[in-house]
Amino acid sequence: MRQEDERGACADGSAELPTRTLLLDNYDSYTYNLYHMLGHVNGVAPVVVRNDAFGGCLRAAWDALGPFDNVVISPGPGRPDRVEDFGMCAQVWDLCAKDSHGPVPVLGVCLGHQGLCVAFGAQVQLSTEGPVHGRLSRLTVADEGDCSGTDSALLFDGIQPHGEQVVRYHSLAAVPHTIMPPLKITAWSYETQGPGGWEQAPGTVMAVQHTSLPFFGVQFHPESIGTRCGLRLLNNFRLISTRLRQNSRLDVNLGQRLEPRQSTGALQKSHMNGSAQDSPLAHQAGDSLSCSHSNSRSSSSCGDRSLHTRVSALRSTTNSHFDWDTQVVFESLFGECNECPEGAPTSEHFIPSFWLDSASSDPAHGARFSYMGRADGDYAELVSYNVDDRSVTVQVPQKQSSPSHEQLFDTKQTFICRAGFFDFLETRIALKCENMDRKLYDRQGGFWAFEKETRLPFDFIGGYVGYLGYELKQESVVMDLDDSSNRSRNRHRSSDPDAALIFADRFLAFDALSKDVYIVCMGRDERDFEWIDQVERVLEQLRGKKPKSRRSNTKKLSVPEVLFVPERSCEEYMDDIAACQRKITEGESYEICLTNRLRAECVIADAFDLYAHLRDANPAPYSCFLRVQPDLSVCCSSPERFLKIAVSGQVTSRPIKGTARRAPSCPSEDADLRRNLESSVKDRAENLMIVDLVRNDLGRVCELASVQVPQLMHIESFATVHQMVSTISGQLPASDGAAVRCIRAAFPMGSMTGAPKLRTLEIIDSLEHSARGIYSGCIGYFSLNNAAELNVVIRTAVVRSRSVEIGVGGAITALSEAASEYDEILLKGKVLVACVNEVLGHKRGVEADDDVRSTATGADIPGSRQKTSAVVAVAVDGARDAKDQSEQESGTTPAWYLPQQSDSKSHSVPRRVAVADWVQ
């Protein structure tokens, strides 16, 4: 085995020069994992070029950016014999064989490997194993082979010849008997991990090489977090290239260099087993509270006119629980009900409000702080955005002449932002920072000090709070917004703003660990900071106060149900699952997150009432309540973090893939469900695919070789479900706007799309009938100090003036079973539907003969097809045991899911029936 210390020096003892790699991107979602690993082993970041850049001409790219020491062709969707899928990559073999400095080494990965096979006469067909995506296989190296002109450096040198674990993502494969000289097979796979362990499989070609040129192909993915030999293989490829390097290439611009260079083994360990505590990038919250904008102003006092931040902190009498109930505080300080007739906010009384609520109060789930406030400060504003015409509307509060000096909203400005929303947000934050003092002050204007601390324990010091809707993908997945061929262009338009953000100039922060409450306020003079005193007085009055009971004993009442109509019926959804699996089999995607929408026509007078029920029934670490328009509120109980970006630039994501119901009334069954989820080959494959996708997304903006996976496929248990959660982290460069650019690079969250992201988004748009809107987007904050934290919008009800909409969905893979996938989306919607029914029953003062159900049918829902559809119904008494889902058996249809009569004129009230009563 070649020793690691040979990597840093040439044969004559001189320092080894970095290796320049041209990385050709086939619009894949794992390309930047290769980018970081190649950058590490090469000592310099590779140059990434998409396969249709430079007019699809590889020679033009080479002349403009080269020369290069080697070329790597990325994986990607589709087929190598289709120009639209492979682009300029098909030109690689001829150009690299005839380079004036000698043959240039080429490594093809997955699609690139298949392209090498096709270029030299082999056939590529559907794999005899079927699609193998995100699954582990054991590698068998055929023999040591030969590589002319490379000083006997071999691609598999030092790699275990039998049993090396690799990850595969492919549906197509090279047909072995068609691989003829000058190609030869260098590795196979005969074993793949299945539900019963390692299963024997037909021999699949895993690697080939040219016998006289330095051309190599591997079918597996060396860049996957689950491939053990990835860095070793890429380092071997570097060594092959080093021995072919010509001296005439030494004067090129070497770009970014890594110092010092870690050993291959060390970096592989940091990817697989690193922890946040052991990482040199680990960040303690509150390390810096200064605004990072270069024009930020510093002041030693509050005597000037720059914008200052003052903080007051109140401590609970015990650190075991809060002296204040957060729900009581929100309703007392930021609720709308007391100000509006009958509790319903109108345009005359409307003030946007927010509550980023760590409802689980369990820091182990990753959420420690909650933030609440509303847009009634002197510097507050509400920003909304429409992605279709790129229009931005900024609304600000205006002081009224009424005795209460109530602040009402009217439109201040509407304009077109040609550069798109993310550029607007980055610029807006920078402008807010220009006149902001870097220091924190206490409520009297002295320097901030609480228990001898001069830093806050949290990163949010004020900024924008709100949501980014799913349709902003049009401006994130493809960066050129004016490209008429933008393949991420939306097919569906949301009726809600595609983004809505409140500028929070004053708010409360609750620390679930210390039980302290912080009052944070921005202002320029003493009048602005009077709000702190007012809030302190209210909080003292609210110590120990409990929330009002929102539940009445309605079990004895016969309460009709609210009917939720799926946008696509069970039959249609099953058809779409089959369509997804056809695309996966054809090699167009590895995983597709398919979703559906449940809608009910009903009036919820106070959306916060629904949220209060939801946080009680299903507490989650990334819950939130938003009221952004008089007729638009969001009630979210998400367990999933999209991104957390600390002031230091450390970014963390916690994607969830893999869900199992809980059986809280039977601990042994609950433990079995947890173990089954942990060992599920299907769920582990789903999770691995998204982990590799998130690594790629963060890799687009993070510092070279900084992306790590400190936690892989960990099971976390919530009130109603077990979830498989992974953690990915990275380090952003120190620059203004890095947080916004990071969110753009990763949006939408991979767990809500699938991979490869761009091609999969096209498939999703072709199958789904309407915009996802707020669902599948993210909610959180963008702080003025370059920090940010956002969730993934799942387990969410969007409340409008006369309707409620719930998004549900799941990841479809080659291993998916349609019935189980449909059961999963019903499980995800159950608690939300139950809470809607309970709220309506309680708010109306339910009587036995009240009829509060919806009479909506498929014809009432925009975009629904006139086929046999289905209705979701939950009796109010069903909400009593929303936390206990033990009655739902695996593979069965829950009692609250009832079929709609095929006769659209029938509006009979659904009743609980046995499954056999309606399944034909």
pTM of the predicted structure, to 2 decimals: 0.83
HEC string of 587-652 equals CCCCEEEEEEEEEEECCCCCHHHHHHHHHHHCCCCEEEEEEEECCEEEEEEECCEEEEECCCCEEE
Q: Could you give the angle at the alpha carbon of 388 between the alpha carbons of 386 and 389, nearest 5°?
A: 80
What is the Cα 607 distance to its own chain's centre?
A: 26
| Contact yes or no for 732/742 (Cβ under 8 A) | yes
Q: Beta-carbon neighbour count of residue 256 at 10 Å?
A: 11
Other C-beta atoms within 10 Å of 470: how many? 29
Q: In angstroms, rounded to a whole number, what is the distance separating the alpha carbons of residues 550 and 610?
A: 10
**3-state DSSP assignment of residue 12:** coil
Q: List residues bridging with 141 in a β-sheet.
A: 187
Q: What is the pLDDT, as a whole number, of residue 367?
A: 80
Rounded distance between C-alpha atoms, residue 858 and residue 776, angstroms: 23
**Domains delineated in the chain:** 21-193+200-250 (3.40.50.880), 307-336+348-399+407-480+487-550+559-649+732-840 (3.60.120.10)
| CA distances to 530, 557, 846, 883, 911 from 553, in Å | 43, 8, 10, 17, 20
Q: CA angle 133-155-118, nearest 5°?
A: 60
Does pLDDT of 337 surpass 70? no
pLDDT at residue 659, rounded to an integer: 86
Residues 139 and 166: beta-carbon distance below 8 Å: yes
Question: Using CA atoms, how far apart are residues 874 and 280, in angstroms rounded to an integer?
Answer: 51
Q: Is the pLDDT of residue 632 over 90?
A: yes
Q: pLDDT by residue (tens digit) across 220-278?
A: 999 999 999 999 999 999 999 998 875 444 333 333 333 333 333 333 333 333 333 32
| pLDDT classification of 410: cutoffs 50, 70, 90 | low
pLDDT value at 400 more than 80: no
DSSP state of 915: G
- How far is the first Cα of the chain from the last one, in angstroms, to the nearest whole number? 65
Distance separating alpha carbons of residues 297 and 244, to the nearest angstrom? 54
CB atoms within 10 A of CB 594: 22
| Other residues' Cβ atoms within 10 Å of the Cβ of residue 808 | 25
pLDDT in tens, 458-517: 999 999 999 999 999 999 987 555 554 566 689 999 999 999 999 999 999 999 888 899
Question: Within the chain, what is the greatest distance between any pair of CA atoms?
Answer: 93
Question: What are the C-alpha distances in Å from 12 to residues 16, 20, 101, 864?
Answer: 10, 21, 21, 72
Angle at 254 between CA 253 and CA 256, to 5 degrees: 125
In the numeric block, the tokens 């916690």 are attached to: 654
pLDDT for the residue 348: 56
What's the pLDDT band for 154 if we cut at 50, 70, 90? confident
More confident residue, 399 or 891: 399
158-166 mean pLDDT: 92
Banded model confidence at residue 411, pLDDT cuts 50, 70, 90: low
**Which residue do the tokens 């090498």 mark?**
116
**Whether the predicted pLDDT of 850 surpasses 60:** no
- State the pLDDT confidence band at 303, using cuts at 50, 70 and 90: very low
Q: Taking a C-beta distance cutoff of 8 angstroms, is the pair 26, 75 a contact?
A: yes
| Residues acting as catalytic residues | 110, 221, 223
CB atoms within 10 A of CB 898: 21
Distance CA 814, CA 798 (A): 32
Tell me how crowded residue 717 is: count the other CB atoms within 10 A of its CB.
16
Residue 599, both tokens: 């809608």
Res 451: pLDDT: 64
CA distance 331 to 548: 11
pLDDT confidence band for 316 (50 / 70 / 90): confident
Q: What is the pLDDT of residue 397?
A: 78
CB count, 10 Å around CB of 721?
A: 24
Amino acid at 671: A
Distances (CA, A) of 396 to 168, 435, 504, 745: 53, 19, 12, 30
Distance CA 644, CA 730 (A): 11
% of the chain beyond a pLDDT of 90 = 60
Instruction: Report residue 662 as tokens.
Output: 């809980």
